[in-house]
Structure 1
Amino acid sequence: MLLRQSEVPLYRNSAAAVEERVADLLARMTLDEKIAQLHAAWLKLSADGNHKARSIDFAQSANQITVDEILQHGLGQITRPLGTHTVDPKEGVRALNELQRKMVEDTRLGIPVMAHEECLVGLMIKDATLFPSPLNYAATWNPRLVGEVGTIIGEQARSIGCHQGLAPVLDVSRDPRWGRTEETLGEDPYLVGVLACHYVKGLQGERRDLLATLKHFVGHSASEGGRNHAPVHVGPRELNDVFMLPFEMAVKLANAGSVMPAYHDVDGVPCHGDRALLHDTLREKWGFDGLVVADYAGVDLLYSHHAVARDSASAAALAFNSGLDVELPGHECAVHLKEALERNEITEATIDTAVSRVLRVKFELGLFENPYVDPERVDVKSAAAGDTAYQVALESAVLLRNEGNVLPLNANGAEKIAVIGPTADDPLALLAGYSFPVHLINSGEQSTASIATPLRALRALLGDERVIHAHGCDIIKERRAGAPVFPGDVSLELTGDAHCDELISKDTDGIAAAVEAARQAGVALVFVGDLAGLFQSGTVGEGSDTDSLDLPGVQQALLQAVVDSGTPTVVVMTGGRPYNLGGLEDRIAAQIMAFAPGERGAEALADLLVGRANFSGRLPLSVPKSAGAVPYVYNHRLKSAGTPIAYHFGCRYPFGFGLGYAPFRYADLALAHSEVPIENGTIELSFTLDNLGSRDGTEIVQIYVRDRHASVARPVRELKAFARVPLAAGASARVRVKLPVDMLNFTDARGERIVEPGDFDLLVGSSSRDIHLSGTVTVAGAATRTLERAWRMLSEVEIEA
């Protein structure tokens, strides 16, 4: 029966103010209905409404309640409705619509459900575009292109009814042994922050009708020993200056809609239970107005691992008192909030605050007016999306060495080319851990037949008759689950006896054939690296940490044998972390770091190898000399090297480094002013860049700053500006940089960002090590300045051809 206008509840009036709608709906809700909005459900949805619960080791296993019981009072979010299992996207949307129908029509208040999906390297669902890894995003040093990736992923997500994407990862890389290094945007907080802002703006769109999720808040990448979920030992200054800066930028500059706390503890305080972090800093200090959502099972870990809560009810109370809004992926703890309320561990007012935020977002997203999605408008793969994936792969491949100019290869010559190695003909080697095929690696459900491998791409360019192929060795002979427990933490009862099945192949039988292939060729291309896989089902990825930066398995032996053949050897490394080559770095002809270049990565690599395109990628993280040099980052403090400098300290290839087929010259540095005021001052500098080569090329100009004297020890240098500068052969450009004085800040003992007067060195280079021009500017002021909330976070670079 239709209601008369006067009988329509205020919360259903789309013309009413959002806050009025929230207040009206909240006043109508029972406690059960409120709690239902504070958690998700992980279900295998069906278009016929016969939804099944997904119960696994770390989610929904402790609460054996029926699907109908889960849904009877409504639901805050549905976890990965299309990404949980292999389902045709249109069929997945029909199933999501059926769940939405149940929420809207069969519950008392008809509150729609939000759907979230993983989207770090594209939607993590069947048939969606498989973009390169975040390390590739960062290696482009191209914010505009990263924003384009975010826009495409956002459009695809909207087409399947997704309301929240669990990306980007803003963890600042600090230890490449950490398996999730592949998910990061590198080791510099400013580079991470700039790229994150563009990704978030692209994903969310101008209306923020899809929420980006900043994760993992905060310091996850600085874990003890590079081990997954391990404690973090950093002081409050370093935490703010290095790890929190990208989050602050994405909140203030990109209006990020959601934040996800990290699993670990910082100085004994787990992030999911840290009110100073989730409320005082995030909301009060920065002005964040979105949702704080738990990392999967993160609330339960407060009880089951961290032991800072006595049971699930206490864990829920601690998390929601600290500022959490939604428990993901299921209902392990939130359903016990009634018990916590009865024990006075939480108040209904606190629950109401979280519920209000959830409802506010649902109203702002327009869910009440448009809860359903048209299955016929699903669009998760297009030629344009593929072209963007190709462009990221092309701009992110880093040429580290090219002795004797062995590259580019002659595309029209007669010389034989040997294509060797375990990753040369494996499509999975091109993909990052949060791509759909890798995420379902153990199911065998997802085909990668449509993804061209480097071998296929090179045969297409050079001709079958010129390419000699030899596999050489395996990294992993059989892809299968390998983790003893989730989430990668060995439990107390397993300590001492725990072990995983040995996944890494030690078989060297194929090396002889690889050597013979190399001897028959004029150049040997050896493809090595790692394979992404969750929780030790691969050699890199979440829970797949390592204790070494040696190539996994027998790849070093393969490479050694090929180099010893005497054939000029080009190493093409793919994967999620940098590896060493066991001393062969000085014997190989060339080396390329391609990271995980995605579904079009092989095509991009082939074009670069034969010179159809020029290399322009630059390292977003340092390549430490060995695991003994870890942690090593370019922006360390002086005494990190030891006294005297430890022989293993440092890196062969530094942050920002990369070569191309064209040399560049930096000249004529000019400072607009030698002195700038500490209040609202802007440092202005310019220099000339010349392409001295016979080929068009792109240089990545980088501006670093060193604080000559400060009240606390400061990094040896910090990136403060950068830009891609494309120049035709023989062309020149004038590069002009504007750097706000605000960006010279660091954190004081109060936790405030301050700028101190004094002298600062300006270093212009092509990497953090290769500095070509330098000057000094004085920041003038009578006293230290404390920055306001809206401090200037971005520099500007203009190119005048």
Structure 2
Amino acid sequence: MPIDIAEQSALYRDAAAPIAERVADLLGRMTLPEKIAQLHAGWLKLSADGNHAWRLADFAQRETDITVDALLEHGLGQITRPLGTHTVEAHEGVRAFNALQRRMVEDTRLGIPVMSHEECLVGLMIEGATLFPAPLNYAATWDADLIEEVGRTIGEQARSIGCHQGLAPVLDVSRDPRWGRTEETFGEDPYLVGVMGTRYVSGLQGERRDLFATLKHFAGHSASEGGRNHAPVHIGPREFNDVFLLPFEMAVKLANAGSVMPAYHDIDGIPCHADQVLIEGTLRQKWGFDGLVVADYAGVNLLYSHHGVAHDAAKAAALAFNAGLDIELPGHECALHLKTAIDRGDIDLSVIDAAVCRVLTAKFRLGLFEHPYANPDGVNVNSPRAAAVARRAALESIILLKNDAALPLGAGTPSNVAVIGPTADDPLALLAGYSFPVHLITAGEHAASPVKTPLQAFKARFGDDRVVFAKGCDIIRERRAGTPVYPGDVDMARAIGEDRRTPVSRDLGQIDEAVHAARSADVAFVFVGDLSGLFQSGTVGEGSDTDSLELPGVQQLLLDAVVACGTPTVVVQTGGRPYNLGGLEDSVAAHILAFSPGEGGADALVELISGDANFSGRLPLSIPKSVGAVPYVYNHKLKSAGTPVAYHFGSRYPFGFGLSYTQFKYGALAWTNRHADIEGGQFEFSFEVENAGAVDGTEVVQIYVADRVASVVRPVRELKGFQRVFVPVGDRRTVRVVLPVDMLNFTDGRGERVVEPGEFQVLIGSSSRDIHLSGTVVVSGHATRTLERHWRMLCEVSAERG
């Protein structure tokens, strides 16, 4: 149906008119089917010739009872991953998206353009785009400026294909490394997560906010029972606000995030997609969020298919939209039943109108009505500059946990180097689960990855004749889709029962060859860890949870055998969660944790190993001594260790830890003021960091605070500030800190953030355990203060020549 002539001169088409007036004019012209069409997405395989086809999946759109033409007749709110749904060259994908957009603009009655969204957590998740490191790597840099540049670079690539919304960042605060989605997080500290997430949002959206970031998963998703995907969450309201909501609050208030995505789980029996208090109460009313709330894929459907709080799709839709949802993703399976929900009295038309207004407002803000089409000639999803940003993120994120003088190799490189392990020559081993080559496995497709492997980088740096390779074992022999359906059909999984077998290999047949290679070399580099893959197509990633912190498969036996042969052994661990080394932590010559460093990871590793660059990555999460210590986080309560302290409690390598090839000394702590008024005061102090070693290096200074006496039990310490500080050898830097009193808040019984007068200990160190300077400060005041909506969330830390 072409657009009505009468609509062509309507107020809503006037770009100069105020957005609110345009929205009101357009809403008044819409029929109920046209309104409902704006509240869901379409999941299609687009074609430039306009012959679009359904994208069928087990968890959403197993089958459809309408045609594509019927779906598009009244318009569409969003199109789901037009270039990321299947393998398509970017220019052709843009032409296909434009064909759909032309149909929306020219062939529907009102001509409302469609928004498109793509995944962009570790780069734009389409064919050919730059493959960035995992968010754990982002956090391990402790470099907020760099992560803003990462977001900006990804945003530029997204805009070039006409993308309007990116489904990132993940602001879940890691609380259990067994959880497969740990790799998607910025670590275990809410302030670090908040700062990194906020800067990523600022970079992605840009000053014009013409591309929406999506904060997810709102909220508490990472605190699930047993670290299992979608499992219920058991947290009190104080912990929920202080730990899990803080990063979202920061990104909403400091970065004006354009969208938020609820999580799959329930908290105290209330699924997040149906939680009106969380979405309407906290997010919109309390924080002032003015963007879109979009469902996680199939999240509305799960309200009746898994959670059992609705008896059908219409009721599920009513629950979600009454709670404050704006758009169902990835398709239409529940939203199309909203008319039934209205007829039953389960939802009021005013709720529908409010959601439609928010969707239309977003489209007007994005300028979609004036610029609906993407330019195929402007596509730029990979460039030397983007590759350089990705490589820098990898270089700054790789962490040296131990070094018994085995590194760097440098000019005195041993004549023979053994490169061993299942991840040494696997390009997918350097990628996180939401990178396009890995994601294809779940879709039943396979793509050759252009990523250089560590083995290739070693040979390029040291020469083919000096590097001997042995795989040693497989982690997964055949990469394929794992779970029967996504997000996991409970009945089907129950029916499979004991016959469900892990794809992880237990074959020991390649270990002898690895031992032979190690014996023939002067030093052995053993690459172990994870393979990211969604829904058990890998050993880490969404739906790929674990019950252990032992290396998957037979990798521990491989490492045991190599270490036992006597050759100095350097362990290089990659993947999406930390693992223990089976007691060999004291026996290996060096231990490197690289997480998933992306397309530039192999070159970055060799640059660090050779001494061409210095290690500067720091742990964004603790490495528990064993799975028995889980959950373990540095900012635990004092009694978390048990009484007496449990022998297995704690972490060998604590939050914030990381070594380099030089040593730093801290000193000259000076206070500008140690007393600050509770009403908007701040503490100011400085200290010096000296490079006392033999090479230039970057220290990550960390500021922690401990509340000495409070009205509720508080953590033993909390991160309040940090800064990367480059110090040339023999030089020193003066670090200046401004810590607002507001940041000493916690949540009271009313759910409000408050600051209490009293004493606090300020701890300055190179990790949460390694504290070098400290002092006591006092918050002065006669009564507890409740913080306003806009409170000071950031600690200012800067460094200057000493």
Residue in structure 2 matched with residue 223 of structure 1 by the alignment? 224
Kept in 2, the 8 Å contact 1:228–1:489? The answer is no
Question: C-alpha displacement at 1:328, in angstroms?
Answer: 0.2
Partner Cα distance (1:477, 1:703) in 2 = 45
Partner Cα distance (2:242, 2:564) in 1 = 47
Structure 1: which 5+ runs fail to align?
Answer: none
Structure 2: which 5+ runs fail to align?
Answer: none
Residue in structure 2 matched with residue 44 of structure 1 by the alignment? 45
Residue in structure 2 matched with residue 627 of structure 1 by the alignment? 627
User: Structure 2: which amino acid aligns with 1:537?
Assistant: S
CA deviation map 1:248-288 (0-9, x unaligned): 00000000000000000001100000000000100000000
Kept in 2, the 8 Å contact 1:86–1:446? The answer is no
Residue in structure 2 matched with residue 114 of structure 1 by the alignment? 115
SS in 2 for 1:507: coil
Residue in structure 1 matched with residue 344 of structure 2 by the alignment? 343
After alignment, is 635-644 or 477-486 more displaced?
477-486
SS in 1 for 2:371: coil
Partner Cα distance (1:495, 1:781) in 2 = 62
After alignment, is 663-672 or 743-752 more displaced?
663-672
Partner Cα distance (2:39, 2:389) in 1 = 37
SS in 2 for 1:525: strand
Residue in structure 2 matched with residue 263 of structure 1 by the alignment? 264
Say yes or no: does 1:76 pair with 2:77.
yes
Question: C-alpha displacement at 1:543, in angstroms?
Answer: 0.1
Kept in 2, the 8 Å contact 1:411–1:462? The answer is no
Partner Cα distance (2:423, 2:101) in 1 = 43
Q: Would the alpha carbon gap of residues 246 and 515 (structure 1) be closer, same or farther in structure 2, given more than 3 Å must change? A: same
User: Structure 1: which amino acid aligns with 2:302?
Assistant: L
Residue in structure 2 matched with residue 99 of structure 1 by the alignment? 100
Partner Cα distance (1:678, 1:499) in 2 = 61
Q: Would the alpha carbon gap of residues 499 and 633 (structure 1) be closer, same or farther in structure 2, given more than 3 Å must change? A: farther
Q: Would the alpha carbon gap of residues 17 and 402 (structure 1) be closer, same or farther in structure 2, given more than 3 Å must change? A: same
Residue in structure 1 matched with residue 139 of structure 2 by the alignment? 138
Partner Cα distance (2:715, 2:214) in 1 = 29
SS in 2 for 1:491: helix
Question: C-alpha displacement at 1:446, in angstroms?
Answer: 4.9
Q: Would the alpha carbon gap of residues 297 and 478 (structure 1) be closer, same or farther in structure 2, given more than 3 Å must change? A: same
Question: C-alpha displacement at 1:557, in angstroms?
Answer: 0.4
Using structure 1 for the length normalisation, give the TM-score.
Answer: 0.98
User: Structure 2: which amino acid aligns with 1:399?
Assistant: L
After alignment, is 533-542 or 663-672 more displaced?
663-672
Partner Cα distance (2:484, 2:549) in 1 = 23
CA deviation map 1:150-176 (0-9, x unaligned): 001000000101000000000000000
**Equivalent residues, number:** 800
Say yes or no: does 1:379 pair with 2:380.
yes
Kept in 1, the 8 Å contact 2:230–2:264? The answer is yes
Question: C-alpha displacement at 1:307, in angstroms?
Answer: 0.7
Residue in structure 1 matched with residue 211 of structure 2 by the alignment? 210
Kept in 2, the 8 Å contact 1:482–1:501? The answer is no
Say yes or no: does 1:672 pair with 2:672.
yes
Partner Cα distance (2:412, 2:145) in 1 = 35
Using structure 2 for the length normalisation, give the TM-score.
Answer: 0.98
Q: Would the alpha carbon gap of residues 659 and 116 (structure 1) be closer, same or farther in structure 2, given more than 3 Å must change? A: same
User: Structure 2: which amino acid aligns with 1:131?
Assistant: F
Say yes or no: does 1:16 pair with 2:24.
no
After alignment, is 239-248 or 486-495 more displaced?
486-495
Question: C-alpha displacement at 1:464, in angstroms?
Answer: 0.9
Partner Cα distance (1:7, 1:650) in 2 = 67
Partner Cα distance (2:216, 2:3) in 1 = 44
Partner Cα distance (1:638, 1:115) in 2 = 48
Kept in 2, the 8 Å contact 1:18–1:364? The answer is yes
SS in 2 for 1:706: strand
Residue in structure 1 matched with residue 590 of structure 2 by the alignment? 590
Say yes or no: does 1:766 pair with 2:763.
no
Residue in structure 2 matched with residue 638 of structure 1 by the alignment? 638
User: Structure 2: which amino acid aligns with 1:646?
Assistant: A
Question: C-alpha displacement at 1:442, in angstroms?
Answer: 5.1
Say yes or no: does 1:483 pair with 2:483.
yes
SS in 2 for 1:297: coil
Residue in structure 1 matched with residue 431 of structure 2 by the alignment? 431
Q: Would the alpha carbon gap of residues 493 and 463 (structure 1) be closer, same or farther in structure 2, given more than 3 Å must change? A: closer
Partner Cα distance (2:300, 2:152) in 1 = 31
- The equivalences for 1:204-603 within 5 A come to 204-403=205-404, 405-411=405-411, 413-441=413-441, 445-488=445-488, 490-491=490-491, 494=494, 497=497, 499-603=499-603
After alignment, is 751-760 or 494-503 more displaced?
494-503
Partner Cα distance (1:697, 1:98) in 2 = 53
SS in 2 for 1:174: coil
Question: C-alpha displacement at 1:410, in angstroms?
Answer: 3.0
Q: Would the alpha carbon gap of residues 771 and 367 (structure 1) be closer, same or farther in structure 2, given more than 3 Å must change? A: same
Kept in 2, the 8 Å contact 1:62–1:332? The answer is no
Partner Cα distance (1:233, 1:721) in 2 = 29
SS in 2 for 1:146: helix
CA deviation map 1:72-103 (0-9, x unaligned): 00000000000000000000000000000000
Kept in 2, the 8 Å contact 1:126–1:446? The answer is no
Question: C-alpha displacement at 1:685, in angstroms?
Answer: 1.4
User: Structure 1: which amino acid aligns with 2:231?
Assistant: A
Kept in 2, the 8 Å contact 1:622–1:634? The answer is yes
SS in 1 for 2:599: coil
Partner Cα distance (2:576, 2:146) in 1 = 20
Partner Cα distance (1:206, 1:322) in 2 = 30
SS in 2 for 1:733: strand
Question: C-alpha displacement at 1:488, in angstroms?
Answer: 3.3
Question: C-alpha displacement at 1:482, in angstroms?
Answer: 1.4
Residue in structure 2 matched with residue 776 of structure 1 by the alignment? 776
Q: Would the alpha carbon gap of residues 459 and 628 (structure 1) be closer, same or farther in structure 2, given more than 3 Å must change? A: same
CA deviation map 1:283-334 (0-9, x unaligned): 0000000000000000011111111111110000000000000000000100
User: Structure 1: which amino acid aligns with 2:257?
Assistant: A
SS in 2 for 1:711: coil
Partner Cα distance (1:36, 1:214) in 2 = 24
Question: C-alpha displacement at 1:418, in angstroms?
Answer: 0.5
User: Structure 2: which amino acid aligns with 1:469?
Assistant: F
Partner Cα distance (2:502, 2:688) in 1 = 55
Kept in 2, the 8 Å contact 1:77–1:116? The answer is yes
Residue in structure 2 matched with residue 731 of structure 1 by the alignment? 731
SS in 2 for 1:550: coil
Residue in structure 1 matched with residue 746 of structure 2 by the alignment? 746
SS in 2 for 1:69: helix
Question: C-alpha displacement at 1:449, in angstroms?
Answer: 4.6
Question: C-alpha displacement at 1:141, in angstroms?
Answer: 0.1
Question: C-alpha displacement at 1:450, in angstroms?
Answer: 2.4
Kept in 2, the 8 Å contact 1:411–1:461? The answer is no
Partner Cα distance (1:496, 1:44) in 2 = 32
Partner Cα distance (2:785, 2:331) in 1 = 46
Partner Cα distance (2:8, 2:661) in 1 = 72
Q: Would the alpha carbon gap of residues 322 and 514 (structure 1) be closer, same or farther in structure 2, given more than 3 Å must change? A: same
CA deviation map 1:22-60 (0-9, x unaligned): 000000000000000000010000000000011211112
SS in 1 for 2:515: helix
SS in 1 for 2:157: helix
Kept in 2, the 8 Å contact 1:228–1:488? The answer is no
Residue in structure 2 matched with residue 30 of structure 1 by the alignment? 31
Large movers: runs of 4+ above 6 Å: 1-7
Partner Cα distance (2:527, 2:42) in 1 = 42
Partner Cα distance (2:384, 2:343) in 1 = 56
Partner Cα distance (2:302, 2:687) in 1 = 53
Kept in 2, the 8 Å contact 1:416–1:466? The answer is yes
Partner Cα distance (2:487, 2:423) in 1 = 28
Question: C-alpha displacement at 1:411, in angstroms?
Answer: 4.6
Partner Cα distance (1:5, 1:85) in 2 = 39
User: Structure 1: which amino acid aligns with 2:434?
Assistant: Y
Question: C-alpha displacement at 1:62, in angstroms?
Answer: 5.5
